Amino acid sequence: MSADRAALALAALAWLATACAHSGGTQGGGGAEPDAEVVALAGALAGLDAAVDAGEARLAAQTALAATREVAEVYRMTWPPQLHNALVNSGLRERGLCCHWAEDMAARLRALDLR
């Protein structure tokens, strides 16, 4: 394999390896109305266990969906996610990898002090 082809293959593999984060609905005509998303997520959360309070499930769903949109703006997410991850990994963006999303989402949900 020539050096140029090897470099191109390595660049393609690196680009694919950076894939992790999704823009959280900031790209592509994405999905249901916010209230329908809240209802669907709250139902899924409440369905995890009979002990889950429906009100808390709705609050968690509202918080999670709002936080996803807010964090996507703060991170200045780009599409496709692999491009954004490459920007983070190269130091051109500060946050936006899966671990950052998880940290920020966990902090928001912990702040709710759900039972």
Instruction: Give the model confidence (pLDDT) of 36-76 as tens digits.
Output: 999 999 999 999 999 999 999 999 999 999 999 999 999 99
Three-state DSSP state, 4:
helix
Residue 72 tokens, joined:
């996507």
Mapping DSSP onto H, E and C, the string for 88-108 reads: HHCCCCCCCCHHHHHHHHHHH
Q: Tell me what pLDDT residue 114 has.
A: 87
Instruction: Please provide the DSSP assignment of 12-24 as one string.
Output: HHHHHHT-----S
Note the pTM of the prediction, 2 decimals. Answer: 0.67
pLDDT surpasses 60 at 2? no
Please provide residue 97's backbone torsions phi and psi, each rounded to the nearest 5 degrees. -75, 165
